[in-house]
Amino acid sequence: MATKNIMIVGVGGQGTLLTSRVLGGLATLGGYDVKLSEVHGMAQRGGSVVTFVRYGEKVAEPIVEEGQADVIIAFERLEALRYAHFLKKDGALIVNDWRIDPMPVVIGAAEYPEGILKTLEKEHKVYVVNATEESKKLGNPRVFNLIVLGIAAQHMDFTREQWYEVIEKTVPPKTVEINKKAFDVGYQL
């Protein structure tokens, strides 16, 4: 199998680290060699953050470079736009239809781009969900990232049982059920 390249992009504090751990756990469960690369420290304070996940027979570098991503999971629209050029031709872009204004926009020094989804759809296979709203319906807006992962799961090579197993091992014990529910919402979309 050719090495699979996944990226998770979002805003610091949105839970990209937890998501990457789920993906890392899956790849290990599948018996693959796997490398992940994360961002800690200052950038996590509301900055643009990107996490790379690579798995396959043998993985050397831990990062995904421009034009190489099979799947990009974007937790926010502007971040989807920022990293879309990392996608391979035919790569899948999964976007949480949510807006978080960066500080230059908040203070009026920049405009939040209009029509991001339309722009992206011109060039890429884009799958959109308003996971933040969906997760509020489940009673916990924090689990939106599992809904997005559920959609990503449709583009990856693992069974639902494998996803469940890793979710159980990765998320805090008290939140296993709601996270599995959130995953199902995305998986069935």
Partner 1 sequence: MAETNKVIMLGNEAIARGAYEAGVKVSAAYPGTPSTEISEYLVQYKDSLYCEWSPNEKVATEVAVGASLAGTRAMACMKHVGFNVAADPAYSVSYMGVNGGLVIVVADDPGLYSSQNEQDTRMVARAAKLPVLEPSDSAEAKEYMKLAFALSEKFDRPFVYRTTTRLAHSQGIVELADRQEIPDKEYIKNIQKTVMMPVNAKMRHVEIEKRNSELAQAADTLSINRVEMNDTKVGVITSGIPYQYVKEAMPEASVLKLGMVNPLPRKLIEEFAAQVEKLYIVEELDPVIEEQVKSWGIEAVGKEIFTVQGEYSANMLREAVLKEELSIKEPAKAPGRPPILCPGCPHRSVYHVLNKLKLHAAGDIGCYTLGAVAPLSVVDTTMCMGSSISTLHGMEKAKGKEYIKDWVAVIGDSTFLHTGVNSLMNMTYNHATGTVLILDNSTTGMTGHQDHAATGKTLQGDPTYAIDIPALCRSLGVKNVAEVNAFDIEALEKTVKEELKKDEVSVIITKSPCVLLSKAKKPLYAAHTDKCKKCGMCMKPGCPAMTKNGDGTVRIDDTMCTGCGLCESLCKFGAIELVKEGDR
Positions that interact with partner 1 (CB under 8 A)? 11-13, 24-25, 27-28, 33-48, 59-63, 65-67, 78-79, 81-85, 100-107, 109-113, 119, 132, 136, 141
Nearer to partner 1, 119 or 154 (CB): 119
Least distance in angstroms from the C-beta of 153 to partner 1: 19
Alpha helix stretches (DSSP H) within 65-174: 77-83, 103-106, 116-123, 131-138, 144-153, 160-170
CA pair distance 159, 47, nearest whole angstrom: 33
Nearer to partner 1, 34 or 129 (CB): 34
C-alpha triplet 2, 125, 129: angle, nearest 5°: 110
Question: Quick one: 175 exposed, middle or buried, by C-beta within 10 A (0-12, 13-18, 19+)?
Answer: middle
Nearer to partner 1, 78 or 95 (CB): 78
Least distance in angstroms from the C-beta of 35 to partner 1: 5
Return the bridge partners of 94, or none.
73, 127
Least distance in angstroms from the C-beta of 124 to partner 1: 11
Nearer to partner 1, 67 or 157 (CB): 67
